[in-house]
A and B are shown apart, each in its own frame.
Chain A
Amino acid sequence: AQKITQTQPGMFVQEKEAVTLDCTYDTSDPSYGLFWYKQPSSGEMIFLIYQGSYDQQNATEGRYSLNFQKARKSANLVISASQLGDSAMYFCAIEAAGNKLTFGGGTRVLVKP
């Protein structure tokens, strides 16, 4: 079974600053994918970024980057130059054996002007 732990229930960040959201995972499968999704207050789930277990480089996607430390089983999301529209819930998820996503409990980010 897979497990995702997000230890930060909520965070404040100043507009234009960077913020790091923590995610640790547990799986016995050697091959897996790690995903981050954003859920605004309107409720939809928006895919942000992906990291494969065999990827040598950390994933980046615009202002989003993933700090992947395989030995520590962590996949932290970094949002650079925060914007007011970044205020949302952020979920880390893992996909391993089978094709289902297992989600963490989420981190709520509030960007202050």
Chain B
Amino acid sequence: EPEVTQTPSHQVTQMGQEVILRCVPISNHLYFYWYRQILGQKVEFLVSFYNNEISEKSEIFDDQFSVERPDGSNFTLKIRSTKLEDSAMYFCASSVPRTGYNQPQHFGDGTRLSIL
């Protein structure tokens, strides 16, 4: 069964550095998402992406964050000037074209980001 692939599985970075989290969505999916989960907390929406542009973003997704689909397969999340509070599990998800709300978002296994 096709799956969403995320790399790396674990990223350790010094505070203030930039990180890029990578995702390969399922090939026929057109909607892409990033979520984050701070340890022990709920999963929070960051951004959704469709047709090569951001379709929605949360208040968490400020100027420190950016997303890109640099080619036909990868979907990346860049975090600039990382802070301690950026430490979390970051999930990429994708879904097929929507005709309603009946298509689940399929999640990758996540990238655990640790800021030191």
Q: What residues of chain A have their CB less than 8 Å away from a CB belonging to chain B?
A: 31-33, 35, 37, 42-47, 50, 52-53, 91, 93, 95-96, 98-106
Contact = CB atoms under 8 A, between A and B. Distances in A.
Given A45-B93, A47-B107, A52-B102, 16 more contacts: A35-B104, A42-B109, A43-B112, A45-B43, A45-B91, A47-B104, A47-B106, A99-B95, A100-B58, A101-B93, A101-B105, A102-B45, A103-B42, A104-B42, A105-B42, A106-B42
Nearest to B107: A45
How many chain B residues sit at the interface, stated as a range, is 20 to 34
A50 B104 contact: yes
Interface residues of chain B: helix, strand, loop or mixed (majority): strand
Contacts of B98: 99
A105 B109 CA distance: 19
Given A44-B110, A45-B91, A45-B107, A100 B100 contact: no
B44 interface: yes
Contacts of B64: none
Contacts, number: 69
Interface in B23-81: 31, 33, 35, 41-45, 48, 50, 55-56, 58
Given A45-B43, A45-B91, A100-B56, A31 B100 contact: yes
Interface of B: 31, 33, 35, 41-45, 48, 50, 55-56, 58, 89, 91, 93, 95, 98, 100-102, 104-110, 112
A29 B61 CA distance: 24
Contacts of B104: 35, 47, 50
B90 to A, nearest CB: 11
B106 A98 contact: no
B102 A33 contact: yes
A61 to B, nearest CB: 11
B66 to A, nearest CB: 18
In the complex, the 6 A-B pairs of residues with the closest C-beta atoms, listed nearest first: A33-B101, A45-B107, A100-B45, A44-B109, A103-B43, A47-B104
